[in-house]
Structure formats: C-alpha cells, structure tokens
C-alpha cells in the first residue's frame, strides 16, 4: 500500500512544481496559454492532498472506509475507492501500475 501512496504524493509534488513554474512564467510575462490557472491547480493539489491524508489509513483497519466496510483488502495497495480515484489522473505517468485503475 505504501508504494501507491508514495506514487500519489510524488505526482502531487510534480504538479506543484509545474504550477510554480507556470505561476513564475505568468508573473514574469513569459506566460504561454494555459487552460487552468495556477491558483486553481494549487487548490486542486490541496484538495487531493487533504483527501489522501483523510484516507491515509484506509485498508489497514483504521481508516474511515474501513469503518464503512468499503476499504480494499490489505494486499490491495490502493486502500479504498477514494484513493484509487485519486490516482486516476496520473494513469499516464511513469510508475503507475495498470491494476491500480479504479
Ligand atoms: Zn478511504
């Protein structure tokens, strides 16, 4: 399970770095067309990070989805459906494993 969470945290770090560069480009006038503003991207990263923290222990017996009976068995690295969905935007990134798909 740690490998999946590590992958997700890494993807959020990559997104945050890309957003920082986009924001810096915008501030220095080197901006190029972007469909999502950096501020929205930062908010989305915060949302994903908070959800991941809330569901951090799902699948270990101590998460909210464990209490609801919705978590995955311990051998499933995804932990719960919410965590699996958090990984979906990164399905095309190196390191994503096909069986992690929700
Ligand atoms: Zn959960």
Q: For the chain, 102 residues long, give each residue's pLDDT as a single digit of tens.
A: 589 899 999 999 998 898 888 888 888 887 666 656 778 889 999 999 999 999 999 999 999 999 999 999 999 999 999 999 999 999 999 999 999 999
Nearest residue to 27 via CA among 36, 18, 38: 38
28 CA → ligand 1 middle, Å: 41
- Within a domain: residue 65? yes
For 20-44, b/e burial (b = at least 16 CB within 10 A) is: eebbeeeeeeeeeeeeeebeebeee
24 CA → ligand 1 middle, Å: 35
- Within a domain: residue 75? yes
87: containing domain: 36-97
63 CA → ligand 1 middle, Å: 6
Would the pTM count as exceeding 0.85? no
- Within a domain: residue 8? no
Which residues have CB atoms below 5 A from the ion given as ligand 1?
55, 58, 65, 80, 82
Number of domains, the chain: 1
42 CA → ligand 1 middle, Å: 22
76 CA → ligand 1 middle, Å: 13
- Within a domain: residue 3? no
101 CA → ligand 1 middle, Å: 15
- Within a domain: residue 69? yes
- Within a domain: residue 57? yes
- Within a domain: residue 22? no
- Within a domain: residue 61? yes
């Amino acid at each position: 399970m740690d490998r999946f969470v590590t992958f997700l945290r890494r993807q959020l770090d990559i997104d945050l770095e890309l957003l920082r560069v986009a924001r810096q480009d915008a501030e220095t006038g080197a901006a190029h067309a972007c469909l999502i503003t950096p501020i929205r991207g930062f908010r989305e990263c915060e949302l994903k990070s908070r959800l991941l923290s809330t569901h951090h222990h799902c699948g270990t017996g101590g998460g909210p989805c464990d209490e609801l009976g919705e978590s995955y068995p311990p051998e499933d690295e995804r932990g719960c459906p919410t965590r699996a969905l958090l990984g979906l935007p990164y399905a095309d990134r190196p390191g994503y494993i096909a069986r992690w798909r929700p």
